[in-house]
Amino acid sequence: MIAFAGGGGTSVYDLQTDSLLFKDSGYLFVKFTSDGNFLITNNGSTFNYAGISIYDTKSWLKINSINLSLDALDISYDSKFMALGVSSWNRLKLDSSGIISIFSFPNITWLKTLLVKKSLHVYHVSFSSDGQYLAAATSDGVKIWNTSDWSLFTDITIGSDSRAVTFSADNKYVVAGFTIGGKDWARLYLYNLAINKIINSYLLGYLRDGQEGGDVPTCVSISNDSKYIAVGSMGAIFMLNAKWNPTSVSDNSEQKNNKIISPNPATGEISLNFEIENTTSTIINLTDINGDKIRNLFNDCLPVGQNSLKFDISDLSCGTYFIQIKNGEYEYSDKFVVVK
């Protein structure tokens, strides 16, 4: 089956017979559950103001209809949970807080609210196919929760705004698009869940005159064989070769144990220990939490193999910073905290 949502409503067709199976007035949003047993569509012409309807795909009877306002929705792969995101701009809200909540499915009973924050915009929510994680792309970065107890697994705040997030088919990686504050540029980041680190990134482009639009990534999809990443933006469609390894910074045991930067937290000096796999120039930059470069630390060739460098950070204020190591076409980032 294939479902369409558009100006004429929601339609479902049998791909083998090319026959119409179902038609309803809801449009702008349509989604099958992974087992194909249910179809979710919105109740009217405006997705974030109208709520949703749930249909049984065996009988095409409406089994539930709710008037919850929403801006983002996903159903877990076992069809037990529904995640809803509501932005602070939503007209049905009585205050200015963004909310991400969990409901049972398909009976739609509230279970838990994961996040409530003033002026938060929720753009996208996504469950991993193994059911272990839930990710949300928000105006406050990407949040990932453990679904076993709904505890926060990690908080990726590379940029001020993330509008797209998804998991790889093997559930080892998260891919998220960010708009980086201050520099007005859009990047796609690859995140390794096992080592809890960003392992690679792609520069997609720049915003148009610093305004909304340009190459802001608004949707992302990974091929089932994890070889390709497709990115949709407000200005273009990108097809990328997926590079899951830290590449120029090898995925050795030190890096897996988060020991590239030491000490961490740090005070006056940090040591970087990493492995280089090619002899092209290595650039090391120090950036703030928004991705804005504070200064260049190193720009020269290094020998292939393990390298160790030390840098003075005594002038930095307390807070969170990133080290970006670029070698050839590849990039690796690591986070550290300065304390006094």
Per residue in 165-208, pLDDT (tens digit) is 999 988 989 999 887 654 456 778 888 888 888 888 777 765 44
Contact 35, 75 (CB under 8 A): no
pLDDT over 80 at 232, yes or no: yes
Fold agreement (2-241, 253-338): no
Q: Which two tokens stand for residue 30?
A: 């349509």
The CATH class for the domain spanning 2-241 reads mainly beta
Whether the pTM exceeds 0.75: the reply is no
Contact 235, 208 (CB under 8 A): yes
pLDDT given at position 214: 53
Q: Is 256 helix (H, G, I), strand (E, B) or coil?
A: helix
pLDDT given at position 303: 81
Q: Which amino acid is it at 10?
A: T
Going from N- to C-terminal start, the domains of the chain cover 2-241, 253-338
- Cα separation values, 173 from 149, 190, 194, 196, 222, Å: 21, 7, 8, 10, 10
- Portion of the chain with pLDDT greater than 90, in percent: 30
Close Cβ partners of 125 (under 8 Å, ≥ 6 residues apart): 72, 73, 74, 83, 84, 85, 100, 134, 135, 136, 137
Q: Which two tokens stand for residue 227?
A: 């070889």
CATH of 253-338, one of 2.30.40.10, 2.60.40.1930, 2.40.37.10, 3.40.140.10: 2.60.40.1930
pLDDT given at position 186: 75
- Cα separation values, 169 from 119, 223, 228, 248, 288, Å: 32, 8, 11, 24, 32
Q: Is 109 helix (H, G, I), strand (E, B) or coil?
A: coil
